[in-house]
Amino acid sequence: MIPRFRPQLGWDELKAAWFKPVAISEFENGFARLMGARNAVAFPYGRTGLALLLEALGIKGKEIICPAYTCVVVPHAVVVSGNEPVFVDSRPEDFNADLDAVEGAINENTGAIIATSIFGYPVDLDRLDDLRRRHPQIAVIQDCAHSFGASWKCRDVVNDGDAAIFGINVSKLITSIFGGMVTTNSDELAQRLRSIRYKRVEPPGYWKPLARKLYLTAVIAAFNPAVYAAVNFLERSGLLDPFVRYYDESLIDMPKDYLIGLTDVEAAVGSVQLGRYHDIIARRRAVAEFYNANLAAIDGIDLPPLVDGATYSHYVIRTPYKARLIKFGLENGVQFGQLIEYCIPEMASYTNRPGARFQYPVSSAMARTTVNLPLSNDSRDDLEKVVRTVKRFCES
Ligand SMILES: *Cc1c(COP(=O)(O)O)cnc(C)c1O
């Protein structure tokens, strides 16, 4: 079974986790350096970073504009911070939020815009700058969970706006097991973030680092091909649902430990991963080009765009036969993913909230038609097998 994603974790990460803990501040410094940002502040999850960032920006009781098509933990964090997420539809071209719709959603109660470079496609910074010039009182937060070093016309997405947030769990471009990061070029904002973190986030204590070591060891074992087939069987049977489901359609909530600090074990793993970053991105760009070249002109699927500066956290095709393709893949040894398979303002927990007040035809269609292809660390044989599987499906 070719897995839908495969974290690039090996002995170096395992050794670091068990034997070479790293201070959080050291990981933060390394992260800031890699992203070319002045400051980085670490959190137990990206969503914790977002909630506390809004607090540090003094934003409360405000509307926060975010994409309808993004990870659902983002609006959860907005709600938990005492604000209201307002959703805008996406652009069909590159999956990102439609910035004209963002401008249309702005009113006197707007506190911030969360600009997301979804799947690694850089947000249009020229259009965003234009918005900021006309609405200087509104904060701009870059959600770089999928994009890390993405750039728009050679300008870093990360360093545009007031701050950027990152998720660094095992499904992301690089990982510190769990964890999140906020970067900012404002020393004053970084200082406020650190003092809020000091007040609100508990130290991790004794058990959490041990639990994280065991979790990492289990993840590395689970991605061993033989084990993965078994895990995949368990997942399909529903037995793993309590472990792998990251959201409940009807609830707005945060993980129980979202205010328990990042551990030095996670900082150790994250620090090793920083050194792999450039290889990981180069590899993803090459795979995206390979897929686009080899899947061109097949009836029944639409290919994603290739964009300069994109980081391809996911390689996402669109097909009206999504469910059948996923099933066909599983029967033929290829696990296709479906991230993101929902349009947030259509979810039970959000549909009646004031922020779901617009129309979402593009996001809604994307939720129903997007399928992501395996993209990480797969051999040439694996990639060719994925291509063959998609072709055979489309011919049938
Ligand atoms: C993963 C992710 C986050 C943050 O996730 P955490 O799980 O809270 O670390 C934020 N935005 C997007 C788009 C994501 O995919």
List, in sequence order, every residue forming a beta bridge with 166; answer none if it has no partner.
181
Closest CA to 44 of 15, 17, 19, 24: 24
**49 CA closest ligand 1 atom index:** 8
Tell whether pTM > 0.75: yes
pLDDT value, residue 233: 75
Is pLDDT of 242 > 80?
no
- If you measure from the C-alpha of residue 72 to the centroid of ligand 1, how many angstroms do you get, rounded to a whole number? 8
pLDDT confidence tier of residue 241, bands split at 50, 70 and 90? low
pLDDT value, residue 230: 78
Round to whole Å and give the CA distance between 310 and 148: 10
Q: How many CB atoms lie within 10 A of CB 307?
A: 16
pLDDT value, residue 238: 67
Note the pLDDT tens digit of each residue in 131-185.
Answer: 999 999 999 999 999 999 999 999 999 999 999 999 999 999 999 999 999 999 9
Q: How many CB atoms lie within 10 A of CB 212?
A: 23
Note the pLDDT tens digit of each residue in 73-105.
Answer: 999 999 999 999 999 999 999 999 999 999 999
**CB 171 near ligand 1, within 6 Å:** no
pLDDT value, residue 248: 83
242 vs 252, which has greater pLDDT? 252
pLDDT value, residue 245: 67
pLDDT confidence tier of residue 231, bands split at 50, 70 and 90? confident
DSSP 8-state assignment for residue 304: P
Mean residue pLDDT across the chain: 95
φ, ψ at 70 (rounded to 5°): -150, 180
Residue 205, token pair as written in the block: 């204590």
DSSP 8-state assignment for residue 120: G
- Ligand 1: residue of 45, 47, 52, 165 to mutate (most ligand atoms within 8 A of CB) is 47
